[in-house]
Amino acid sequence: MSSEYVYATFNRGDALWIDLPSSFFAAFQNGTAKGIALYTASGDDAYYAIFDDSAILKITYQ
């Protein structure tokens, strides 16, 4: 697992894009990265989330 991360805050009903730094590209290119995860260190039920199945992952490398 990578030590690189991007911090973002979601609120109920939010729709937003999160930009990943270009440093993430190499891990996807060489196959060491297999996906993207969402994580919270809290065990509090207030941080439980269900994401809509229409979520879009858009990757644009420039």
Nearest CA among 22, 54, 24 for reference residue 37: 24
Whole-angstrom distance, CA of residue 18 vs CA of residue 23 = 14
Ordered by start, the domain boundaries in the chain are: 1-62
DSSP strand E in the chain: where? Answer: none
Whole-angstrom distance, CA of residue 28 vs CA of residue 18 = 17
Query: Are 59 and 23 contacting, i.e. CB atoms less than 8 angstroms apart?
Result: no
1-60 pLDDT, tens digit each: 557 788 888 787 888 888 888 888 888 888 888 888 888 888 888 777 777 777 777 777
Amino acid 46: pLDDT: 78
Amino acid 48: pLDDT: 78
* Cα radius of gyration (the chain): 13
